[in-house]
Structure 1
Amino acid sequence: MNNLTVYEKNKQPRQLGELVGSGGQGNVYCLSENPNILVKIFNADKLKKRGDELREKVHVQTQMRDLIENRYLTWPQIEVFNAKGEWIGYAMKRAKGVPLSKLAHPMLYRKYFSGIDRRGIVKMLLHLLDTVEKLHQKGICIGDINLDNILGDSTSFKVCLIDTDSYQIKSATRVYHCPVGKPEMTPVEHHGKDFKTITRTVESDLFSLAILMFQCLMLGQHPYSQIGGGNPVENLRKGNFPYGKGGAPPGKAGSLPPGPWYIIWSHLTYNVKTLFIQTLRYGVRDPSSRASISEWKDTLEKYYWAMNMEYNTSEIRPAQPKPSQEDEE
């Protein structure tokens, strides 16, 4: 237990409890009186460099009541201050779940998502798409989409989005950019640029979402991993997506890496594979061709139905390829 105290705007003191997380931006504590509320305190160097911008952005977020009330977003709720009245961070609700990086993993999914099958994964992806769609409808882009800032619940098959203070939002007078990102999750049009100045778009989010969904359905495998060529970031920049018809022969440069990847890919429905190819091959250079959220929702709902009807397997790691069909990718 620590003795840290923070203050609301009205100078009401709040005692902080245990430290539950720390990172480059700051530390996160639970509220002593209510462990379901977390308080994020930014590091002194962050406040020195970007304190005014951070405060402005968080203040705008605390005015978005519908997003605060959304149980699947850890949205900034209340600004917090130190004893001197200086702004230092904000309070938010505590998220429930496990990072999707433990679902999109060939071993860890068994431990952290015990008993889950492909239907459970698809249900979580559908819920994720619903939440992202609500954000996009409000003109908000996530930007830094990755497996560690989305938590999945293996009981409810819902997901909760965390680190929402990095999202790109707009006020009446300015755009607050998403200043962070991972190259392996970032569309090529934003490579080599300063994240702090990039204006994210629905299309850039769609590209990153496709990579994340691919990883969730493919045991964490990155869609641009392949034999030879380069690392996933280099292959992404070239649009070298090795799945689907017309790819390199097995074992040759540019083909799928060793592992169960072809087997898993073969069991996806034709339409799921088509949307991945549309987005991750042709959509690399043409953002307008990236599959929309509505397309993904329709296709994944039909995939879920096909698994329920046993037309497609619901196994996470099937042992044999699906018998080929003439129209299969």
Structure 2
Amino acid sequence: MRLRFEQSGVWWEPQPADQLGSGGEARIYRLPGEPPRVAKLWHKPTEERARKVAAMIRNPPVDPMAGQGHVAIAWPLDRLLADGPAGRVRGFVMPRVEGMRPIIDFFNPRTRLQVCPLFNWFYLHRTARNLVIAIRALHERGYVVGDLNESNILVSERALVTLVDTDSFQVWDAETGVLYRCRVGRPEFTPPELQGKSFARINRGPEQDHFGV
């Protein structure tokens, strides 16, 4: 399967040796070249997903850690199109994040002692600060995380934070007036007013992210 980078027109063919992981919705592949990037290829591409990612690429948030050479929000950079006249969007390109762990490894005391024993209370407070700064940057552009949980927040040994799985966020496309909702959520991070409701039918707000934090 050959895929084309929408912006540059360069062709790329994913290889089994370059696959970094696979989940319920997509596979992740290493991409050649610099800066480090990965490709997220959906198992079931849809036109809605393609339009949503296009809206995200047109209006990226300001990354609050860019000045430190760190990616705090793993935002889509480009779309990947299938070979053929239709050029169906099969996935997208995003920054590659390395040397980080899920946040649960740090807020669980026993695990934290095993994986990073020098990560003390100072680093925990710094992690919390960096997390809310990244989320604020999203809110300032009209985005809502929605499904905020320990699996889509990564933390480095320097307490730097990266938000991943960004294509699941709630996205408002100001150009078309379309709202792409976040269709998933974890009960333990969901506020009382949304418990038991269908996320696919709910417009979320920043206050729901605040509860998740």
Instruction: Give 2:170's aligned residue.
Output: 168
Cα deviation, 1:32-78, whole Å, max 9, x if unaligned, reads: 345820100000xx32xxx1110110000011245479521110000
Alignment of 1:1-329 (within 5 A): 5-9=2-6, 11-16=9-14, 18-34=18-34, 36-43=36-43, 46-47=44-45, 51-67=46-62, 70=66, 71-84=71-84, 85-96=87-98, 97-154=100-157, 156-172=158-174, 173-209=177-213
Equivalent position amino acid for 1:59 in 2 = A
Equivalent position amino acid for 1:86 in 2 = R
8 Å CA contact retained: 2:63, 2:72? no
Q: Equivalents in 2 of 1:27, 1:165: separation in Å? A: 14
How many residues are aligned here? 200
8 Å CA contact retained: 2:63, 2:134? no
Instruction: Give 1:298's aligned residue.
Output: none
What is the aligned-residue identity percentage? Answer: 28
Instruction: Report the alpha carbon displacement of residue 93 of structure 1 after superposing the two structures with TM.
Output: 0.3
Q: Equivalents in 1 of 2:102, 2:212: separation in Å? A: 17
Unaligned stretches of 5+ residues in structure 2: none
Instruction: Report the alpha carbon displacement of residue 187 of structure 1 after superposing the two structures with TM.
Output: 0.7
8 Å CA contact retained: 2:61, 2:137? no
Cα deviation, 1:93-140, whole Å, max 9, x if unaligned, reads: 012311102112242212322311111011011011111111111111
Unaligned stretches of 5+ residues in structure 1: 210-329
Q: Equivalents in 2 of 1:11, 1:68: separation in Å? A: 26
Q: Which has the higher strand share?
A: 2
Tell me the secondary structure at the aligned position of residue 196 of structure 2. Answer: coil
Equivalent position amino acid for 2:101 in 1 = V
TM-score if structure 1 supplies the norm length?
Answer: 0.57
Equivalent position amino acid for 1:117 in 2 = N
Instruction: Give 1:312's aligned residue.
Output: none
8 Å CA contact retained: 1:77, 1:90? yes
| Most deviating of 11-20 and 186-195 | 11-20
Q: Equivalents in 2 of 1:163, 1:150: separation in Å? A: 9
Instruction: Give 1:213's aligned residue.
Output: none
TM-score if structure 2 supplies the norm length?
Answer: 0.87
Equivalent position amino acid for 1:178 in 2 = C
Equivalent position amino acid for 1:143 in 2 = G
Equivalent position amino acid for 2:53 in 1 = V
Equivalent position amino acid for 2:56 in 1 = Q
Tell me the secondary structure at the aligned position of residue 140 of structure 1. Answer: coil
Q: Equivalents in 1 of 2:88, 2:185: separation in Å? A: 29
Q: Equivalents in 2 of 1:101, 1:149: separation in Å? A: 10
Change (3 A) 1:83 1:68: farther
User: Which of structures 1 and 2 has the bigger CA Rg?
Assistant: 1
8 Å CA contact retained: 1:62, 1:68? no
Equivalent position amino acid for 2:164 in 1 = I
Tell me the secondary structure at the aligned position of residue 147 of structure 1. Answer: coil
8 Å CA contact retained: 2:61, 2:141? no
Instruction: Report the alpha carbon displacement of residue 14 of structure 1 after superposing the two structures with TM.
Output: 2.1
Instruction: Report the alpha carbon displacement of residue 194 of structure 1 after superposing the two structures with TM.
Output: 1.2
The structure, 1 or 2, with the larger RCO (C-alpha pairs under 8 Å, 6+ apart) is: 2
Q: Which has the higher helix share?
A: 1
Tell me the secondary structure at the aligned position of residue 103 of structure 1. Answer: helix
Equivalent position amino acid for 2:160 in 1 = K
